[in-house]
Amino acid sequence: MTDLPLTPLTRIRRLPHHQVTDRAALYDIIDGALTATLAISRDGRPVALPVGIGRDGDDVLIHGSTGSDFFRRIAAGAPVCLTVTHLLGLKYARSLFDSSMRYRCAVVHGMASVVLPDDKESALLTLSEHLMPGRPAEVRPMTARELAATMVLRLPLAEASVKDNAGSAVEEDDDGEDRSVWAGTLPLRVVAGDPVTSAQTRPSTAIPASVRRAAERIAASGTV
């Protein structure tokens, strides 16, 4: 698959010229994110929760507790909406009405399936490698009890939309606004702080490579 299909759910109606239908753009947004917002309708009311994510081919992997009512409803077939946003900056126009944000955003619609027990450990390793690159090799293996307590969902990237206004203009020529009022963009970036070692870790323990890798990735992209 290359281009993202336009459907009643994925067609962008507000500022449609910012819609991107290249599947590679969708992958880039998801691969550059650690978290997303996952939403369902529960008992007639919308519910949205933050979740950790990782891409596996044409699917997004999401994990949570097997005891979660939210995840159980999704496993039972509740339709979901997954949103990933990278906020890149604030646009200061010469009026509040025209002021805005610069961002890249992906919205995925669909129904998730539960990863089967035989495939669960592999899916969790894929997810962990995305969230904390190299960490699985530094810690003990997952136990059967831990695997049993964890649910992994697989959401297909079949129906998704991408909106990218990162290059949108702050002002238009001959818009009649007062040029003595400052206009421009305040770029925003995510930065990783210095690692904080837990109190019960032996003082001689070195900070592992996985922590450095995560910090370097964030420094390179500036987003999560």
| Cα dihedral 100, 82, 16, 188 sign | positive
What pLDDT, on a 0 to 100 scale, did the predictor assign at position 77?
A: 97
Question: Are 20 and 211 a contacting pair, CB within 8 Å?
Answer: no
Question: Are 37 and 22 a contacting pair, CB within 8 Å?
Answer: no
pLDDT tens for the chain, 224 residues long, are: 569 999 999 999 999 999 999 999 999 999 999 999 999 999 999 999 999 999 999 999 999 999 999 999 999 999 999 999 999 999 999 999 999 999 999 999 999 999 999 999 999 999 999 999 999 999 999 999 999 999 999 999 999 999 999 988 888 888 888 899 999 999 999 999 999 999 999 999 999 999 999 999 999 998 88
Residue 43 carries which DSSP code?
T
Backbone phi and psi for residue 70, each to the nearest 5 degrees, phi listed first: -60, -50
